[in-house]
A and B are shown apart, each in its own frame.
Chain A
Amino acid sequence: MSRAGKIARRTFLIGSAAVAGGVAFGIYAYKRTPTNPLLRNLGDGQAALTPYVRLDQSGVTIITPRADVGQGAYSVQAALVAEELDLPWEQIKVDPGPPSAAYYNGKVLAEGLPFAATDNGPLARNARVLGDVGGKFLGLQITGGSSTVPDAYEKLRVAGAVAREVLLLAAARQTGIAKADLRTRNGAVVTPDGRSLSYASLAATAAQIDPPATATLKPESEWRYLGKSMRRIDMVAKCTGTAVFGIDLRMPGMVYATVRTNPRLGGGMKNHDPSAAAASKGVLKIVPITAGVGVIADNTWRAFKAANVIKFDWGPAPYPPTTAAMFETVGTSFVPARQDSRFKNEGNIEAALTGTGVIEAEYKVPYLAHAPLEPMNAVVQLKDGRLDIWTGTQIPMFMMAMAASMTGLRAENIHLHAQMSGGSFGARLEDDYVRQAIELAKAFPGPPIKMTWTREEDMTHDFPRPLAMARMRGAVKDGHVDAYDLSIACPSVTASQLGRQNLSIPGPDVAIVAGAWDQPFKIPNYRVTGYRVPELVPVSSWRSVGASGNGFLHDGFLDELIHAAGADPLKERLRLCWHEPSRKVLEAVGEMSSWGSDPGKDRGRGIAFTLSFGVPAAEVVEVTNTPHGIRIDKVFVAVEVGRVLDPKNFDNQVRGGVIWGLGHAMNAELTHADGIAQQTNYHAFEAMRLYQVPLIEVRALTNTNEVRGIGEPTVPPAAPALANAIFAATGKRIRELPLNKHIDFV
């Protein structure tokens, strides 16, 4: 039996307080167990074996509370439960379930802790346990931070095992055969004489049985799904146009709407003239909402068209109106009064950086929009004291609280139906679009209203990844990097985002320095300081959050120091790296890319490394400097994830992350003029298109026991690996993203 095979009650010690139970146990072990939300809405003959397994005469439905925004969350959650439950893959049905504290995420808070993922000291470990407990008591049902797999890995297998136990007990009761003589196989309990009792046929009996508190997990050697490439359960639907996204919902009596609000975010509306729109064909009602208006019509395009002819007088932006002015604010934030953190301070940086030979640089990264291909939308219906919301969301519990406060309705009269999302990249960690839809529903109660943002509304109202600047100083000695002083000034994503949920963060925002302060390098004199820039444009989490920009800032200048020392970029990173799993990924990309061999004429190779979300990721990019610009030829990427639950989906996520990171580094930014984002559609915000995609070779390492998520960690090292490769091929060091401000790409 594997180490985690037998799940037993356990006690975590946190400081002097003992907290009984733990996530490993599933929710049953907690003294104050969150109610199983499925019990509330059970129909006749239905049983909720755990919060994750609903059973009725038609079979098993697996509850997959983490949002699927394209990363395959529904499939991987289902696989974890189905593995233990012995459910045939073809029979898997999933339902995102109701919002509930029972579906809290115990791992998502870990990224906000001021402990590096490589820190396994007692303080760091206790903090992570506290993060889990905090996640529980806050009822944080959140999808994000590459935490779905780490959070679910044991929890959902236990849920499946507990459900299997209940089914065995039910079969024993129904047949009179001792439970020990019964087995489960392919969605049925099998008796010693070969009779097969389908799970569906056991539903009524199972409903009478209290789930046990313990269950034995299968040994890994018996896994049929985990570790194997399974057909994603949404794949056929997504390839035949039969998948239903939130934007595709249709209901009897439905009306269609869009909104226009001030593109100077937070600026408010002074005046508007809707007369032309009111006369526009198909318009049912024009509704003032916060900072703008909504147009309700009988067709989405008619709503768009009418909204286009409304004349607005918008208020001014509550932030500097231009990108240049905003960067000025960032540039003046490197002052003691705005110091937010200094989590890394080793050696004597001031002493090491006196005298001659100090190398200095300044780096910049821009705002970036999420721009998922499905623009923000929601269907909302307010009728007879009941509110229904259909939308894709990563924050269902926050959304419920928001809806209650907006409508005054009690939670039991608010029903949130989670939908499949056409991408997110963090966009669906916000709820502004649903607030607007609820405002429309309050003004137009009765029918379901489908509110859809135009692409232009989406681009100009996104809460982007923040802009940031870094100032670096460093020194080399005897052919090695001797001192690295990194200062990063950036607005706080966490404060901005939580502020919109009326929450605040005490103390520093780790996101400002994530992917920089926590890198597993031992440099004799090494300091990382975060400065919190006052909020400019409201900002939000964007795929890989703080590390998305900080990977470029930290590793870009590290590469400069290594070149200044005359050292080899791979060998020096290896020499500086003390963390064995991280060294292994560096060695792996070195081997994959034949590092050290001649790349050929006009070609260059760059390496970069970022550890984020607990995952060490190293990438080597190979480019050619053609007469027309830079061509990216190949990328080699190695990551340490502890365990790969689905190789094909893993590979797709890794490549997607690399393409995301490279594409935005090449050509994407959100700039502002007159307080308004200037990139209003994909013609001006493109990232990578197919013809630019290089060959990407992927290697997963599994040298640790830490199971990690892979949606984000390959993003941060992509930009610096590309910039470092361009330097190698051209001698040109680019210190600002996007790179195409300084060099062309073919």
Chain B
Amino acid sequence: MRLKVNAKTHEVNVEDDMPLLWVLRDELGITGPKYGCGIAMCGACTVHVDGGAVRSCSLRVGDVSGEVTTIEGLGSPEAMHAVQAAWVEHQVAQCGYCQSGQIMAAASLLMVNGEPTDEDIDRTMSANLCRCGTYPRIRAAVKAAAAKLRERRS
């Protein structure tokens, strides 16, 4: 089957019920999305399908109907997305294992809600687990990224 990931089309030969996560990681070598729980409880595998955040560990690749964006496609070390830049600025990461998913969740939130309230941030970002406890910095970084994106638009 054909799968468009980060603006590149791949031909993959896998069964329909393989979760998107494992197609990305083991078949395509795109390892930014992480395996944490396999049951959509931790959010470490979060990617975008047509801009919306999905849990790639629980999405059958056969059910993927749009273009997939992973953390690698959001921005690069040389050209970071505003959310990534805010994450670096606030030194959010500790172990960093959850942060690909956190950043993808935040980027998706800011696409649909440019001025999220504290409650909006809490509601959306609570679906992503961080065992290190970087939550206070995540809150701050989401707000900073939102402000930066608003500034760019105006």
Say whether A and B bind each other: yes
* A interface with B by C-beta (< 8 Å): 69-72, 229, 231-232, 234-245, 247-248, 250, 256, 281, 299-302, 304, 371-375, 420-425, 452, 454-455, 648-649, 652-653, 655-660, 663, 681-683, 686-691, 693, 695-696
Q: Whose C-beta in chain A lies nearest to the C-beta of B14?
A: A299
Contact residues in A for B133 (Cβ distance below 8 Å): 655-660, 663, 688
| Nearest CB on A from B35, distance (A) | 7
- Nearest CB of chain A from residue B84's CB, rounded to whole Å: 5
Is A682 within 8 A of B71, CB to CB?
no
**Contacting residues, chain A, for B37 (C-beta < 8 A):** 455, 681-682
Specify which of A71, A240, A256, A425 is in contact with B131 (CB 8 Å cutoff): A425
Q: Mark B95-121, 1 if CB is under 8 A from A, else 0.
A: 111111001000000000000000001
Closest B residue to A297 using CB positions: B26
Select which of A422, A653, A693 is within 8 A of B96 by beta carbon: A422
Residue of A nearest to B119 (CB): A691
Residue of B nearest to A69 (CB): B95
Interface contact A421-B95, CB-CB below 8 Å:
yes
Chain B neighbourhood of A373, CB < 8 A: 34, 36, 42, 44, 95, 97-98, 129-131
- Interface size grouping (class) on chain B: 35 or more
Query: Nearest residue in B to A454 (C-beta to C-beta)?
Result: B38
Q: What is the CA–CA distance of A659 and B129 in the complex, to the nearest angstrom?
A: 12
| Interchain CA distance A239-B97 in the complex, whole Å | 10
Q: Which residues of B contact A (CB under 8 A)?
A: 14-15, 18-19, 21-22, 25-27, 29, 31-39, 41-42, 44, 70-72, 74-77, 80, 84, 87-88, 91-100, 103, 121-123, 125-126, 128-139
Contact of A238 among B25, B39, B99, B125 (CB under 8 A): B99
Are B96 and A648 interface neighbours, CB within 8 A? no
Q: Is the CB of B129 within 8 A of A242?
A: no
Verify A301–B18 contact, CB threshold 8 A. Answer: yes
Partner of B126 from A663, A687, A691 at Cβ < 8 Å:
A691
CB distance from A378 to the nearest CB of B (A): 15
Using CB atoms, name the residue of chain A closest to B70: A241
B149 to chain A, nearest CB (A): 16
> Are A690 and B131 also in contact (CB < 8 A) when A240-B75, A241-B32, A375-B35 are?
no
> Which one of A241, A281, A423 has the highest number of Cβ atoms from chain B below 10 Å of its Cβ?
A241
- With both beta carbons as reference points, the residue of chain B lying nearest to A249 in the complex is identified as B31
| Whole-angstrom CA separation of A683 from B36 in the bound complex | 12
With A281-B15, A681-B39 in contact, is A231–B91 under 8 Å at CB?
Answer: yes
Q: Judging by beta carbons under 8 Å apart, are A656 and B31 in contact?
A: no
20 A-B residue pairs with Cβ-Cβ distance under 8 Å, sorted by A, are A70-B94, A239-B93, A240-B72, A242-B72, A256-B26, A281-B15, A300-B25, A373-B36, A373-B44, A374-B95, A375-B35, A420-B96, A423-B95, A454-B38, A655-B137, A656-B133, A660-B131, A682-B41, A682-B42, A690-B128
Q: Which residues of A have CB within 8 Å of B18?
A: 299, 301-302
Cα–Cα distance between A693 and B29 once the two chains are bound (Å): 35
Chain A residues whose C-beta falls within 8 Å of the C-beta of B132 in the assembled complex: 70, 423, 656, 660
- Give the distance in Å from the alpha carbon of A305 to the alpha carbon of B138 in the complex: 34
Q: Which residues of B contact A256 (CB under 8 A)?
A: 26
Q: Give chain A residues whose Cβ lies under 8 Å from the Cβ of B80.
A: 236, 239-240
Q: How distant is the Cα of A446 from the Cα of B120 in the complex, in angstroms?
A: 51
A137 to B: closest C-beta gap in Å: 32
Given contacts A455-B36, A690-B139, contact A423 B26 (CB under 8 A): no
B38 contacts A652, C-beta separation under 8 Å: no
User: Once bound together, how far apart are the Cα atoms of A71 and B133, in whole Å?
Assistant: 11
Query: B97, A72: Cβ atoms under 8 Å?
Result: no
A452 & B131 in contact (Cβ 8 Å cutoff)? no
Q: How far is the CA of A420 from the CA of B93 in the complex (A)?
A: 13
Nearest Cβ in chain A — how far from B13, in angstroms? 11
A234 touches B136 (CB 8 A): no
Indicate if the CB atoms of A239 and B134 lie closer than 8 Å: no
Picked from B29, B131, B137, the residue with its CB within 8 Å of the CB of A372 is: B131
Q: Complex Cα distance A421/B98, Å?
A: 12
With A239-B99, A241-B100, A649-B91 as contacts: A299 and B27 at CB distance below 8 Å: yes
Partner of A244, one of B31, B38, B135: B31
- Nearest neighbor of A421 in chain B, beta-carbon distance: B95
Complex contact B29–A250 (CB within 8 A):
yes
List A contacts of B72 (CB < 8 A): 240-242
- Interface residue from A372, A424, A696 paired with B136 (Cβ < 8 Å): A696
Q: Smallest Cβ distance from A426 to chain B, in angstroms?
A: 12
